[in-house]
Amino acid sequence: MRHARYPSCLLVLLAACLGGPALFAAPAPPPIPGVPTPYEGDCVLHDFSFASGEVLPELRLHYTTVGTPVRDVDGVVQNAVLLLHGTSGDGQGFLREPFAGQLFRPGQLLDAARYFIVLPDAIGHGKSSRPSDGLHMRFPKYNYDDMVRAERQLVECLGIEHLRLVLGTSMGGMHTWVWGYTYPDAMDALMPLASLPVEIAGRNRMMRKMMIDAIESDPEWKKGEYKTQPRGLVSAIHVLLFMVSSPLEWQKEAPTRAQAEAFLDTQVERYRKTLDANDLLYQFDASRDYNPLPHLGEIRAPLYAVNSADDQVNPPELGILDEAIHRVRRGRYVLLPITGETRGHGTHSLPAIWGKYLAELLAASEPPGK
């Protein structure tokens, strides 16, 4: 089905007539000056089967789009870009000045007048189907393969057969690796940011298990049937803050004891207001069997993997990407040095720092005849 900006009722009728997934779309407020009005919508996938063997009768995938699809004479979309968010985030997280303001405006690398930008909410995130909708711990135990397969079906739901670029941050970066070998002919270029193409192990998995244990060991969790968020969620947030923090930046933000404690309280409260304990359990456990390493030779599109030297989730001293990138036929590894501008793991959302590498990747992967 082609992407269209019609009233929901018409889209439901179209889906019913065509026998495809239901598709809904509606305008959303413009995020920042100079960026076209984004559109929000839902694609409903029926009887979605998970790797666990579980089936969800209706899987709702929420998405936001910016720009307009451009089709060739055969009706094939030529300008679609897929951007994939991190754990506990959503697609609209990209619609902020540091990201969209650096990429989507006229003349910028992902100029929304030139590209059709698709921002999905992954399974279990944002406005897509998730445990907190009501199923709680009865929600299917999804993994990254399920999430990527659903993203692929969403892209098809929007009438897109081929992508100019797949770019992801953190969890979205890991999804980008999976996209590369699962659908090797589906894109012209791949850019995973703040990620590693190996099994989640070592300190990374330990931190994730700490978060899971903090929630599940709390009697207030009640095996997922709590009425108010359990106190274990705050303990999990404490671990999350260590994962995403930047020592250099946080020292600048909070150079005294009083400022540090106030800063911590602010950060915890910000997360506490937006996170759900069951959703967080699923989100951080979804990486349990992620491991692209044996499949890296199957990736065909040019790939630039970009990490930051102050990323505590993917520390460069592990040396993993130094070796793994050689398995990617058209791969390149970029390690950003620590500067006053980097933000640890969060550097992935600052294209002002890594944008020049995106420019190189787009140039290197330009389809013939363009």
pLDDT at 111: 98
Closest CA to 44 of 143, 126, 123, 146: 123
pLDDT at 127: 97
Alpha carbon distance 264, 89 (integer Å): 20
pLDDT at 10: 28
Which ranges of 170-316 would DSSP assign to H, the alpha helix? 171-182, 202-216, 232-244, 247-253, 257-274, 277-285
User: What are the beta bridge partners of residue 191?
Assistant: 167
Alpha carbon distance 200, 109 (integer Å): 32
Exposure string for 115-138, b = 16+ CB within 10 A, e = fewer: bbbbbbbbbbbbbbbbbbeeebee
Residue with tokens 């959703």: 279
Answer for the pair 63, 91: CB distance below 8 angstroms, yes or no.
yes
Give me the average pLDDT of each 10-residue run along the chain (370 residues). 32 34 62 90 97 98 96 92 97 95 97 98 98 98 98 97 98 98 98 98 96 98 98 96 89 96 96 96 98 98 98 96 98 96 95 98 88
Alpha carbon distance 164, 83 (integer Å): 11
Structure tokens at 136: 């709680």
pLDDT at 28: 65
Composition of the chain by helix, strand, coil, percent to 5? 40, 15, 40
* Strand pairing report for 165-169 and 80-84: parallel
Closest CA to 177 of 323, 321, 366, 358: 321
Closest CA to 266 of 236, 237, 231: 237
The CB-side HSE value for 44 (13 A sphere, CA atoms) comes to 14
pLDDT at 32: 85
Closest CA to 22 of 56, 62, 52: 62
Residues 6+ apart with CB under 8 A from 189: 164, 165, 166, 301, 302, 303, 304, 361, 362, 364, 365
Closest CA to 62 of 4, 120, 139: 120
Answer for the pair 284, 173: CB distance below 8 angstroms, yes or no.
no
Determine how many CB atoms are found less than 10 A away from the CB of residue 213. 14
DSSP string, 342-358: --GGGGGG-HHHHHHHH
Q: At what angle do helices 232-244 and 257-274 cross, to 10 degrees?
A: 120
Structure tokens at 247: 């020592």
Alpha carbon distance 158, 184 (integer Å): 19
Alpha carbon distance 164, 118 (integer Å): 11
- Helix, strand or coil, per DSSP, at residue 55: strand
Indicate the helix (H) or strand (E) that contains 168: strand 165-169
